[in-house]
Amino acid sequence: MRRILLATIGSLGDLHPYIAIAQALARRGQQPLIATAPEYRAEVEREGVAFFPVGPGFAHFGDYRALMEKLFDVRRGTEFLVREIVMPHLRTSYTDLAKAAEGADLLVSHPLTVVLPLIAELRKLPWAATVLSPLSLMSAYDPPLIAGVEWLHRLRRLGRAPYRLVFALLKLVSRRWEAPLRELRRELGLPPARGPALLDGQFSARLNLALFDPHLAAPQPDWPANLRITGAPLHDGALGDDERRALGAFLADGEPPLVFALGSSAVWVAGDFWNLAVEAAQRLRRRALLVTGRDTPPRLAAGLPAGIRAVPYVPYSQVFPRALAVIHQAGIGTLSQALRSGRPQLIVPFAFDQPDNARRAAALGLARVLPLKNLGARSLADELGALLESASYAEGAARIARELATVNGAERAADALLTYGSG
């Protein structure tokens, strides 16, 4: 039995893949441990996985909605994440993760757990790195669509040189942001890193796992060495008996609904999205299910038109396959569930990797993309109308779902980790 530490930070989309992998490891007789924000203890332990808290936790940053608004700022969100959330708390994270790693046989990192490689280096422990979406690989051969500078993607027709220049500039910026991490390395007596921790330095020399589906990106010459695409490790929560019966009754009470879902983070910055969704559904005379998150807006909770229902949470795997179409933000976890649903998709990306994920889904022929700046009740209804009127989207969605039916990312990731751990 091996003790395997999986460290992560972020939203539920950053947590659920590691729960799925931990469960796959446990089924193989291993001893997985998830180390992440204290607020996720109940979520992890409910799934039978050991948990270790890593500070400072979300409560430290005050009002959660205000925090999300800063993170989802397209221009400054990434800088805020790195300079105000990750870097000021490196020593807290290091202390906690060092304790969590005691007795571990293998460490598994998330792109933002930048101190875990330091622990592996100091203790000479095997370390595997993971990424959740193709954007993290920053390939000049398959350049990503970067939120806030979408125009840059048009330069891909000029070859790889423009993106190599952009990536070089990103390394310079990252180096400035990561000064506290370099100081911590010096304090620990470690040599200088080979690259910015958020770019080149996040990858392991021995094993890197791309925890996304192979349809989203093909291997490229400039990808890190020893990288395997596992497919998405999927995990869904559960509903109570009352909620499950109410959901089943709604789904059975008419034609399949439009399902609107924004994951666990974008719901906090949704603005008028839900009202626009209601109006668009009414324009199309369609039923709709709105998955609004735990902070359901009062105006939705107060009452909705007939045939439209708002719920704080549903397991996507239970509702997406029963949708007329799935409307979502293209967070990688939401997208992974939507790809397996066999239903056509309309994607409204907000920030981070979502524009790039949306672009890749659209290229598969199963989705249309509506930029957030163009979002309105009419544009939403028009795009949904076009999606539903063309059989090609439904056919593309069904094809991809069939091809992904045998792709179990959690099992593949667990196998790769155990092969590495035993080597």
Task: Provide mean pLDDT across the span 174-189.
Answer: 95
Confidence of residue 157 (pLDDT cuts 50, 70, 90): confident
The pLDDT of residue 237 is 83
Tell me the percentage of the chain whose pLDDT exceeds 70: 98
75 phi and psi angles, rounded to 5 deg:
-85, -40
**CATH architecture of the region 241-404:** 3-Layer(aba) Sandwich (3.40)
Model confidence, pTM? 0.95
Task: Provide mean pLDDT across the span 263-290.
Answer: 95
Render pLDDT for 345-373 as a digit per residue (tens, 0 to 9): 999 999 999 999 999 999 999 999 999 99
- The chain-wide mean pLDDT, for the chain, equals 94
b vs e for 341-356, b when ≥16 Cβ sit within 10 Å of the residue's Cβ? bbbbbbbbbbbbbbbb
Render pLDDT for 5-47 as a digit per residue (tens, 0 to 9): 999 999 999 999 999 999 999 999 999 999 999 999 999 999 9
How many of the other CB atoms lie within 10 Å of CB of 84?
15
Beta sheet of 345-347, edge-to-edge order: 308-311, 288-291, 258-261, 325-328, 345-347, 367-369
In the chain, how long is the greatest CA-to-CA distance?
A: 65
Beta sheet of 50-53, edge-to-edge order: 50-53, 31-36, 3-7, 106-109, 127-131, 207-210, 227-229
Question: Which residue has tokens 């875990």?
Answer: 116
Tell me the percentage of the chain whose pLDDT exceeds 90: 83
Q: How far apart are CA 194 and CA 87, in angstroms?
A: 18
The answer to whether the 3-232+407-422 and 241-404 domains have the same CATH topology is yes
For residue 421, pLDDT over 70 is answered with no
The pLDDT of residue 190 is 95
Closest Cα partner for 366 from 406, 405, 394?
394
Q: Find the helix packing angle between 377-389 and 273-284, rounded to 10°.
A: 50
For residue 158, pLDDT over 80 is answered with no
Render pLDDT for 183-206 as a digit per residue (tens, 0 to 9): 999 999 999 988 899 888 899 999
For residue 166, pLDDT over 60 is answered with yes
How many of the other CB atoms lie within 10 Å of CB of 161?
10
For residue 301, pLDDT over 70 is answered with no
The pLDDT of residue 298 is 64
Q: How far apart are CA 418 and CA 406, in angstroms?
A: 20
The pLDDT of residue 299 is 66
For residue 131, pLDDT over 90 is answered with yes
Task: Provide mean pLDDT across the span 115-129.
Answer: 97
**CATH architecture of the region 3-232+407-422:** 3-Layer(aba) Sandwich (3.40)
Confidence of residue 209 (pLDDT cuts 50, 70, 90): very high
Task: Provide mean pLDDT across the span 274-284.
Answer: 96
Q: Where are the domains of the chain?
A: 3-232+407-422, 241-404
Number of helical (H) and strand (E) elements in the chain, helices listed first: 17, 13
For residue 280, pLDDT over 60 is answered with yes
Helix (H, G, I), strand (E, B), or coil: what is residue 27? Answer: helix
Instruction: Please return the burial class of 422, using the count of CB atoms within 10 Å of its CB with bins 0-12, 13-18 and 19+.
Output: exposed
